[in-house]
C-alpha cells in the first residue's frame, strides 16, 4: 500500500497565501528560511509557522488578520522574539511587527507621553525620550532587542520595575486589533469597561472573584 499523502495542516493555506500576496504591501514569506527563523524565540520551544507576515502599516495587519480568520489559520503576533515562554512562536501565521512597524510617532514632554508603533525597540524609545528627561519605566535585560508591543503582551518589568512599575503601569491607552478583526482603543480606568465589548458584563459577573483573588501578588496580569 502507498503511504497516505501528507495532509496540509490548514486546508485554506494556499488560498490565503495567494490572497495575501495580492493584497499586502508588506512581506508575505512562506519560504523554509523565513519559517525556520520564526520557529523559535528565547525559550526552549520550537514551533514552525506556515506563513510569516511583515506588515508595512496597520492596514496590512488588518488585512492579514482578516485573511487568516477567513481561512481558519491561527495567528501569533511577534516583536523581537525575546520571550522566554514561547509567546512569540506558533503554528499558522506569524505577524512580525519589528521589520516595518517600528516608528516613534511622537513624544510630548508636556504630557510626558509618547505614541509608538508596536515594533519600536525599547532602547530606541529610551534614547528618543532622554533629551526630554523622560524614560519608559520598565527596563528588561533585553532592552536592546525587545519591542514595546511584546512588552505589553508580556507585561514586562525588569530590575527597575519596583521603582517605575511594570509595562501595564506605564501604558495610558492602546489601540489594538482583535483576532476577530475589531479595532479597539481603550485606556485604564472605568472608561475601558465600555470600550472593550463584553468587559463590563464580565466584571459584573465575576466581581466576587476579582475582589478577593485578583491582585494578591504583584504581577498577576499579562497583556
Please tell me the predicted confidence (pLDDT) of residue 210: 87
| Domain coverage including residue 44 | 13-96
Q: Assess whether 191 and 159 both reside in one domain.
A: yes
Name the residue with cell 476577530: 180
Whether residues 24 and 86 fall in one domain = yes
How high is the mean pLDDT in each 10-residue block of the chain (223 residues)?
57 96 98 98 96 98 97 96 93 97 98 97 98 94 96 89 88 91 86 86 92 74 52
CATH number, residue 54: 3.30.43.10
- Per-residue pLDDT at 60: 98
Quick one: pLDDT at residue 188?
A: 77
Q: Domains in the chain: how many in total? A: 2
Assess whether 149 and 113 both reside in one domain.
yes
Domain presence at residue 205: yes
Instruction: Return the pLDDT at 9.
Output: 84
Alpha helices per DSSP H over the chain: 13-23, 32-37, 58-70, 122-129, 148-154, 161-164, 167-170, 192-195, 199-205, 207-213
Give the pLDDT confidence score for residue 195 in this predicted structure.
86
Query: What's the CA gap between 50 and 137, in Å, rounded?
Result: 36
What is residue 159's predicted lDDT score, i.e. its pLDDT? 86
Residues 110 and 76 reside in one and the same domain: no
- Supply φ then ψ for residue 27, to 5 degrees: -95, 130
DSSP character at residue 182? -
Please identify, among 96, 116, 138, the residue that sits at the C-terminal boundary of a domain: 96
Could you tell me if 108 and 151 lie in one domain?
yes
Q: Report the CATH number at residue 122.
A: 3.30.465.10
Which residue among 96, 120, 151 closes a domain?
96
Question: In terms of domains, do 73 and 167 share one?
Answer: no
- The pTM score is 0.89
pLDDT at 207: 93
Residue 222: the pLDDT is: 54
Indicate whether 8 belongs to any domain.
Answer: no
Amino acid at each position: 500500500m502507498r503511504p497516505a499523502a501528507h495532509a496540509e495542516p490548514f486546508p485554506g493555506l494556499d488560498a490565503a497565501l495567494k490572497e495575501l500576496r495580492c493584497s499586502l504591501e508588506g512581506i508575505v514569506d512562506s519560504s523554509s528560511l523565513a519559517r525556520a527563523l520564526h520557529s523559535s524565540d528565547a525559550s526552549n520551544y520550537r514551533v514552525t509557522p506556515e506563513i510569516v507576515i511583515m506588515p508595512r502599516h496597520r492596514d496590512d495587519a488588518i488585512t492579514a488578520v482578516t485573511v487568516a480568520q477567513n481561512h481558519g489559520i491561527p495567528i501569533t503576533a511577534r516583536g523581537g522574539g525575546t520571550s522566554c515562554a514561547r509567546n512569540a512562536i506558533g503554528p499558522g501565521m506569524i505577524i512580525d511587527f519589528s521589520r516595518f512597524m517600528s516608528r516613534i510617532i511622537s513624544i510630548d514632554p508636556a504630557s510626558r507621553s509618547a505614541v509608538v508603533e508596536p515594533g519600536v525597540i525599547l532602547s530606541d524609545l529610551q534614547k528618543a525620550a532622554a533629551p526630554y528627561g523622560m524614560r519608559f519605566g520598565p527596563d528588561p535585560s533585553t532592552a536592546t532587542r525587545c519591542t514595546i508591543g511584546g512588552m505589553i503582551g508580556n507585561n514586562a518589568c525588569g530590575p527597575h520595575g519596583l521603582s517605575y512599575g511594570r509595562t501595564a503601569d506605564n501604558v495610558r491607552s492602546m489601540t489594538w486589533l482583535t483576532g476577530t478583526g475589531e479595532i479597539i482603543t481603550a485606556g485604564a480606568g472605568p472608561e475601558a469597561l465600555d470600550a472593550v465589548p463584553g468587559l463590563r458584563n464580565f466584571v459584573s459577573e465575576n466581581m466576587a472573584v476579582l475582589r478577593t483573588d485578583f491582585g494578591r501578588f504583584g504581577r498577576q496580569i499579562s497583556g
